[in-house]
């Protein structure tokens, strides 16, 4: 067995054109048989060590390796249904357009893809790029294969990069567990894997708890228990993080409403649709960027944010001037009228953009995740929290620190007196409503990253937004802030025990009881203005 | 425009507008009702089905119609409002005098129109996969029953991917609950330990999946191959898959097989991180057959866009509509009773290269395909049942329905015949 591995290893190290024939022959065998036979061929392809094997396997795992129906030739096919191009999978040479349905794809499924990933990994253990070597080491860790031990050890000796070396050491440990190495080596391997921690290690060790050899079983059980303890601790931290993240979404959705409903007292049922308009603005901006200047894609959200603010704010001003101002002091009529507006906006968007979801992409800096200890933090949630806090701080600054903010507060606290002082109350009303609406638009930009961009987007946030504002105390921005985050965190701590459905119900019941006790919310407005 | 006007009439002033309708119901056309939501939450899925019906009707008219008469589509918009489905189906049948209705998506909308179709004795074609446990004389179910979708998908994961641990995740309503009940019973039958099954329900439109995805990842790190069987409904899928991608869970680690995610749903999604996740359907747009190629081309020409996709419920309407045409031609009339009798046994080509036929339980035979998501939003068929499978209306895996069968042919003519007691009416619903 080891001899074979050594030979394979030699082949990998000294890949030579002499093996090209075999690679071509093996490639021709790919279309035949079922998935498990194909897996065998993939292993053999990897064993040729040919330079071109890794690329071939990559194309195969993407599912773009086709067989031409007429002569059985293997092609690398790319393009859309009515516009396909073929290329030679080994040389990459362009073979011109391919007739639709003249080829059939060589199928890959998940388990075959796993094999391919491990095979590519084994071909890349000595790759010059440390990132590739890291991937290779991870692939070897996730799919331990006893025959790979020699290759991993050789790579470990040659490795200069300490991170990759650590990953290789762990990969070696997992692989040793698969072999019949001496007991002490394997127990040592378990402790190496245990040190690594995390879910991958848990997965690698869990099976060995039922080992026939008591030493292995005990060592594995101890290591697993230790990892699980760490994970349980981190799970609490993770819950807080999830809560903050949910809270930031609630805050974004609610803070605009805190202006229109909280400060102005307008029950704006179209608030959710203003959020939706923000999300659709993002979509339009991205579409424009995709077609005319794709290099700017990573900036799309930053470009979309001010536009979304203007679009939603503009619609907000129009709603205020057109409808709401005629209904001040008549909350029920306002409620009905704005609800009507919300239906109109929904159907308008549906007619313009169609009823189906629209794809809004994540810029590269918002994709993926990074690790903090044992906790996975996704970039998009991280930036949304930052964004929510920034929007909140900006709003606070605007209300406290600018003339417009002063006028807004003056008008809402005592309209008559503000008018006496020469403030154009009508204009301030429109601007205040527009500000609240514009902030809803900003929320839409953020929500387009984590939710569906569909005409129904707004509906799912309107109720939560009102809950947050009412719970926090209408008219108090800090109340909205505190309410959003405490509801978010409470929800996330309830969810693991009660489930998502019951969790939501419990929160709702809690808020109803709370409002019974303190009708003005967490941080009630005080003073004469409230009574007026 | 005519349709828009009619919608407006029905939507706003039912009585006034339709009082004169029967006067127009002349004998030179056959009216076909289309009962799909064009607004509200379900518009996302149902609008396409309205369009595909209009296309099928137009094609049939170009071929000379049915029984020498032209078909006339009557489109109404129930606006995702369940009681409205019942109101509008009454209007279609009674007011407009349609001979057949193609419509509904959610089970609750179907349940709400059932009594109307029974009372007014008309025909409904229901094109969506559903939870089963039903067979009604006036309804033809052209979507999949659980044995045509859920059970084969679980078989595939068990046999081909060696899955031993199962997460059954669904939206909290009747279809996922019943399907998961059937699947749980099935998995236990297959010897899966109860602690290896995790069941999770979320509300409609759930968008914060962080906790659940991280729970799934934790559940999946017990050294056993884990898979998620998802009955998560429509809209909630996008944030679910996004979260999976962001938390770095690839299909190679924990595959997700979905029963409500098709080409149409993926159209609103960046599919790069989803490659390899699975869906089980009876049709995929990527299926390589002559009929399918023609259908896709016809559809894209009809709708005027090469970006539009086709999906499973569209195929179901294609099959259902062709079956109805064939049955009407066989019966020589559009009379409800004659057509219902003629329907059983009718066979028409489906789009995957086979011949689907209508069973005596008003369900049809279909192949089951398992597809993996590709990076272009299409599916690669990785497995399919060797032959066609007849929909099983009453699940054999649930004790309360194991003894029930449906057979609408005379002399049995019963939707819930208990083979144990020899009685019709063994079911509670």
The nearest alpha carbon in chain B to A370 belongs to B247
**Of A193, A357, A449, A459, which to mutate for an interface test with B (greatest number of B Cβ within 10 Å)?**
A357
Specify the range with the lowest mean pLDDT, choosing from A29-33, A508-512, B424-428.
B424-428
Collapsing DSSP states into helix, strand and coil, what is residue A372?
strand
Chain A residues inside the 8 Å CB shell of B193: none
Chain segment A314-323, per-residue pLDDT in tens:
999 999 999 9
Chain B residues inside the 8 Å CB shell of A110: 161, 251-252, 255, 276, 278, 372
Collapsing DSSP states into helix, strand and coil, what is residue A110?
helix
- Angle (deg, nearest 10), helices A130-142 and A162-178: 20
A373-384 burial code (b ≥16 CB/10 A, e <16): ebbbbbbbbbbb
Chain segment A61-70, per-residue pLDDT in tens:
887 888 888 8
Q: Would you state the structure tokens that stand for residue A269, as one six-digit string?
A: 């049922």
Write down the residue that tokens 């004659």 correspond to: B338
Q: Which contacts qualify for A158-161: CB closer than 8 Å, 24 or more apart?
A: A158/A126, A159/A133, A161/A130, A161/A133
Do B137 and B171 fall within a single domain?
A: no
Chain segment A257-279, per-residue pLDDT in tens:
998 888 888 889 999 999 999 99
CATH of A234-531, one of 3.30.310, 1.10.260, 1.10.3470, 1.10.600: 1.10.3470
Instruction: Please state the rounded mean pLDDT for residues A81-98.
Output: 82
The alpha carbon of residue B141 is apart from the nearest alpha carbon of chain A, in Å, by: 25
Chain A residues inside the 8 Å CB shell of B374: 63
Instruction: Please state the rounded mean pLDDT for residues A73-96.
Output: 82
Bridge partners of B103, per DSSP, are B35
A495 vs B276: CB contact, 8 Å cut-off? no
- Residue B331 sits in a domain of what CATH number? 3.40.50.2300
The DSSP letter of residue A48 is H
The alpha carbon of residue A235 is apart from the nearest alpha carbon of chain B, in Å, by: 9
Residue B363 lies in a domain: yes
> Which of A34-38, A225-229, B16-20, B60-64 is the most confident on average?
B60-64
Distance from C-alpha of A62 to C-alpha of B224, rounded to nearest angstrom? 26
Specify the range with the lowest mean pLDDT, choosing from A134-143, A292-301, B171-180.
A134-143
Do B278 and B355 fall within a single domain?
A: no
Do B201 and B137 fall within a single domain?
A: no
B44 vs A356: CB contact, 8 Å cut-off? yes
Q: What is the pTM of this model?
A: 0.81
Q: Does the CA dihedral B328-B332-B334-B335 come out positive or negative?
A: negative
3-state secondary structure chain B: CHHHHHHHHHHHCHHHHHCCHHHHCCCCEEEEEEECCCCCCCHHHHHHHHHHHHHHHHHHHHCCCECCEEEEEEEECCCCCHHHHHHHHHHHHHHCCCCEEEECCCHHHHHHHHHHHHHHCCCEEECCCCCCCCCCCCEEECCCCHHHCHHHHHHHHHHHCCCCEEEEEEECCHHHHHHHHHHHHHHHHCCCCHHHEEEEEECCCCCCCHHHHHHHHHHCCCCCCEEEEEECCHHHHHHHHHHHHHCCCCCCCCCEEECCCCHHHHCCCCCHHHCCCEEEECCCCCCCCHHHHHHHHHHHHHHCCCCCCCCHHHHHHHHHHHHHHHHHHHHCCCCHHHHHHHHCCCEEECCCCCEEEECCCCEEEECCEEEEECCCCCEEEEEECCCCEECCCCCCCCCCCCCEEEECCCCCCEEEEECCCCEECCCCC
Residue B401 lies in a domain: no
The alpha carbon of residue A364 is apart from the nearest alpha carbon of chain B, in Å, by: 11
Do B26 and B91 fall within a single domain?
A: yes
Q: Using CB atoms, pick whichever of A80, A355, A450 lies closest to residue B207.
A: A450
Do B265 and B322 fall within a single domain?
A: no
Could you tell me the residue range of the domain that residue B151 belongs to? 147-284+370-390
Distance from C-alpha of A158 to C-alpha of B384, rounded to nearest angstrom? 47
Residue B404 lies in a domain: no
Instruction: Please state the rounded mean pLDDT for residues A404-410.
Output: 89
Over 60: is that where the pLDDT of A531 sits?
A: no
Do B137 and B39 fall within a single domain?
A: yes
B-facing residues of A in 44-63 (CB < 8 A) are 62-63
A82 vs B306: CB contact, 8 Å cut-off? yes
Per the structure, the count of domains in chain B is 2
Chain B residues inside the 8 Å CB shell of A252: none
Chain B residues inside the 8 Å CB shell of A117: 252
Instruction: Please state the rounded mean pLDDT for residues A449-476.
Output: 87
Per-residue pLDDT at B426? 56
A110 vs B276: CB contact, 8 Å cut-off? yes
Collapsing DSSP states into helix, strand and coil, what is residue A78?
strand
Do B96 and B184 fall within a single domain?
A: no
Domain boundaries, chain A: 2-123, 134-212, 234-531
Residue B9 lies in a domain: yes
Strands B414-418 and B404-407: antiparallel
The nearest alpha carbon in chain B to A283 belongs to B268
Residue B425 lies in a domain: no
B-facing residues of A in 168-227 (CB < 8 A) are 199-200, 202-209
The nearest alpha carbon in chain B to A205 belongs to B223
Q: How far is CA A507 from CA A10, A470, A489, A492, in A?
A: 64, 13, 11, 11
Distance from C-alpha of A220 to C-alpha of A205, rounded to nearest angstrom? 6
Strands B278-281 and B197-202: unpaired
Chain segment A386-397, per-residue pLDDT in tens:
999 999 999 999
Over 60: is that where the pLDDT of A510 sits?
A: yes
Chain segment A105-131, per-residue pLDDT in tens:
888 888 888 888 888 887 888 888 888
Over 60: is that where the pLDDT of A83 sits?
A: yes
Bridge partners of B379, per DSSP, are B373
Collapsing DSSP states into helix, strand and coil, what is residue A40?
helix
The alpha carbon of residue A204 is apart from the nearest alpha carbon of chain B, in Å, by: 6
Do B27 and B74 fall within a single domain?
A: yes
Q: Does A495 touch chain B (CB under 8 A)?
A: yes
Distance from C-alpha of A275 to C-alpha of B69, rounded to nearest angstrom? 49
Q: Would you state the structure tokens that stand for residue A254, as one six-digit string?
A: 């609610």
B-facing residues of A in 228-287 (CB < 8 A) are 231, 235, 238-239, 242, 245-246, 249
| Cα B82–Cα B85–Cα B88 angle in degrees, nearest 5 | 150
Do B18 and B111 fall within a single domain?
A: yes
Chain A residues inside the 8 Å CB shell of B161: 109-111
Residue B280 lies in a domain: yes
Residue pairs spanning A and B at CB distance below 8 A: 171
- DSSP result, A300-340: HHHHHHHHHHHHHHHHHHHHHHHTGGGGTT-HHHHHHHHHH
Do B120 and B258 fall within a single domain?
A: no
Chain B residues inside the 8 Å CB shell of A82: 306
A452 vs B239: CB contact, 8 Å cut-off? yes
Half-sphere exposure of B81 (CA within 13 A, CB side): 10
Chain segment A171-201, per-residue pLDDT in tens:
899 888 888 888 888 888 898 888 888 888 8
B-facing residues of A in 125-144 (CB < 8 A) are 142
Q: Using CB atoms, pick whichever of B243, B247, B251 lies closest to residue A110.
A: B251
B-facing residues of A in 396-425 (CB < 8 A) are none
Mean pLDDT, chain A, whole residue set: 86
More confident residue, B239 or A345: A345
Do B170 and B254 fall within a single domain?
A: yes
Question: Per residue of chain B (429 residues), what is the pLDDT tens digit?
Answer: 344 444 444 444 444 344 334 444 456 899 999 999 988 778 878 899 999 999 999 999 999 999 999 999 999 999 888 899 999 999 999 999 999 999 999 888 999 999 999 999 999 999 999 999 999 999 999 999 999 999 999 999 998 888 999 999 998 888 899 999 999 999 999 999 999 999 999 988 788 898 999 899 989 888 889 999 999 886 788 888 888 888 888 888 899 999 888 888 887 677 877 888 999 999 999 998 999 999 999 999 999 988 889 999 999 999 999 999 999 999 999 999 999 999 999 999 999 999 999 999 999 999 999 999 888 888 988 888 888 999 999 988 888 888 888 899 888 888 888 888 888 875 444
Selection from A3, A473, A38 nearest residue A258 by Cα: A473
Chain A residues inside the 8 Å CB shell of B227: none
Residue B317 lies in a domain: yes
Per-residue pLDDT at A416? 87
Interface pTM (ipTM) of the complex?
0.78
Residue B413 lies in a domain: no
Do B385 and B238 fall within a single domain?
A: yes
């Amino acid at each position: 067995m080891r001899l074979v591995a050594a030979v394979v290893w030699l082949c990998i190290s000294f890949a030579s054109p002499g093996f090209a024939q075999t690679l071509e022959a093996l490639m021709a065998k790919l279309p035949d048989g079922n998935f498990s036979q194909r897996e065998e061929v993939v292993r053999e392809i990897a064993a040729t060590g040919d330079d071109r094997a890794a690329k071939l396997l990559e194309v195969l795992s993407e599912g773009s390796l086709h067989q031409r129906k007429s002569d059985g030739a293997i092609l690398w096919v790319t393009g859309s249904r009515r516009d396909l191009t073929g290329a030679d999978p080994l040389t990459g040479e362009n073979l011109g357009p391919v007739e639709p349905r003249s080829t059939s794809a060589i199928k890959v499924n998940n388990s075959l893809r796993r094999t391919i990933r491990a095979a590519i990994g084994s071909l890349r253990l000595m790759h010059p790029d440390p990132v590739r070597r890291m991937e290779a080491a991870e692939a070897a860790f996730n799919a331990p294969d006893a025959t790979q031990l020699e290759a991993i050890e050789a790579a470990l000796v040659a490795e200069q990069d300490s991170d990759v070396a650590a990953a290789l050491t762990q990969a070696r440990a997992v692989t040793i567990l698969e072999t019949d190495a001496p007991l002490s080596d394997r127990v040592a391997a378990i402790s190496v894997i245990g040190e690594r921690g995390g879910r991958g290690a848990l997965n690698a060790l869990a099976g060995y708890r039922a080992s026939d050899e008591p030493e292995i079983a005990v060592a594995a059980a101890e290591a697993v228990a230790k990892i699980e303890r760490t994970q349980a601790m981190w799970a609490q931290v993770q819950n807080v993080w999830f809560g903050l993240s949910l809270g930031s979404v609630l805050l974004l959705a609610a803070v605009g409403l805190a202006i229109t409903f909280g400060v102005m007292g307008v029950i704006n049922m179209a608030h959710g649709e203003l959020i939706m308009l923000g999300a659709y603005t993002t979509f339009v901006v991205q579409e424009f960027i995709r077609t005319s200047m794709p290099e700017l894609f990573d900036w799309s959200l930053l470009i979309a944010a001010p536009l979304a603010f203007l679009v939603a704010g503009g619609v907000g001003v129009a709603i205020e001037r057109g409808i709401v101002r005629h209904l001040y002091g008549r909350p029920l009529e306002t409620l009905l009228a704005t609800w009507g507006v919300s239906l109109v906006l929904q159907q308008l968007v549906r007619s313009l953009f169609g009823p189906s979801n629209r794809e809004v992409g994540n810029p590269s800096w918002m994709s993926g995740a990074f690790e903090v200890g044992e906790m996975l933090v996704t970039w998009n949630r991280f930036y949304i929290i930052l964004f929510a806090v920034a929007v909140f701080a900006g709003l606070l600054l605007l209300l406290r620190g600018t003339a417009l903010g002063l006028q807004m507060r003056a008008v809402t606290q005592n309209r008559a007196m503000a008018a006496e002082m020469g403030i154009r109350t009508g204009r301030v009303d429109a601007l205040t409503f527009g500000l609240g609406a514009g902030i809803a638009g900003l929320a839409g930009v953020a929500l387009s990253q984590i939710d569906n961009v569909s005409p129904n987007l707004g509906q799912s946030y309107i109720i939560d937004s009102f809950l947050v504002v009412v719970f926090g105390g209408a008219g108090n921005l800090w109340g909205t802030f505190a309410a959003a985050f405490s509801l978010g965190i409470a929800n996330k701590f309830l969810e693991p025990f009660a489930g998502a459905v019951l969790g939501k119900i419990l929160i709702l019941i809690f808020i109803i009881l709370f409002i019974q006790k303190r009708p003005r919310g967490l941080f009630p407005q005080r003073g004469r203005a409230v009574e007026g | 425009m005519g349709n828009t006007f009619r919608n407006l009439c029905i939507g706003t002033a039912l009585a006034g507008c339709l009082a004169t309708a029967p006067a127009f119901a002349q004998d030179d056309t056959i009216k076909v009702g289309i009962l799909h939501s064009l607004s509200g939450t379900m518009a996302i899925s149902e609008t396409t089905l309205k369009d595909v019906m209009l296309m099928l009707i137009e094609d049939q008219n170009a071929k000379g119609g049915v029984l020498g008469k032209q078909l006339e589509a009557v489109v109404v918009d129930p606006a995702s409002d369940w009681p409205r489905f019942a109101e509008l189906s009454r209007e279609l049948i009674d007011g407009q005098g349609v001979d057949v209705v193609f419509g509904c998506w959610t089970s609750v909308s179907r349940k709400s129109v059932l009594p109307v179709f029974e009372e007014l004795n008309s025909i409904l074609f229901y094109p969506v996969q559903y939870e089963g446990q039903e067979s009604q004389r006036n309804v033809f179910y052209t979507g999949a029953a659980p044995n045509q979708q859920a059970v084969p998908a679980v078989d595939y994961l068990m046999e081909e991917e060696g899955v031993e641990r199962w997460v059954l995740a669904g939206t909290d309503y009747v279809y996922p609950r019943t399907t998961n009940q059937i699947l749980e019973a099935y998995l236990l039958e297959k010897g899966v330990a109860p602690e290896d099954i995790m069941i999770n329900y979320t509300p409609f439109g759930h968008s914060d999946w962080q906790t659940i995805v991280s729970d799934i990842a934790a559940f999946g790190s017990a050294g056993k191959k884990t898979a998620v069987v998802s009955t998560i409904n429509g809209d909630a899928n996008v944030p679910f898959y996004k979260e999976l991608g962001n938390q770095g869970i690839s299909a190679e680690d924990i595959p997700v097989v979905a029963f409500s995610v098709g080409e149409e749903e993926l159209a609103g999604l960046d599919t790069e991180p989803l490659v390899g996740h699975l869906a089980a359907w009876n049709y995929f747009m990527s299926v390589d057959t002559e009929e399918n190629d023609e259908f896709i081309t016809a559809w894209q020409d009809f709708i005027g866009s090469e970006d539009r996709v086709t999906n499973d419920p569209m195929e179901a309407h294609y099959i259902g509509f062709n079956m109805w045409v064939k049955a009407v031609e066989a019966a020589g009339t559009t009379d409800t009773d004659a057509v219902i009798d003629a329907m059983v046994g009718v066979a028409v080509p489906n789009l995957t290269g086979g011949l689907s036929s209508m069973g005596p339980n008003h369900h049809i035979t279909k192949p089951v395909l398992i597809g993996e998501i590709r990076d272009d939003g299409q599916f690669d068929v990785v497995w399919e049942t060797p032959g066609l499978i007849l929909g099983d209306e009453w699940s054999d895996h649930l004790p309360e329905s194991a003894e029930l069968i449906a057979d609408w042919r005379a002399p049995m003519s019963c939707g819930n015949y208990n083979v144990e007691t020899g009685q019709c009416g063994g079911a509670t619903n």
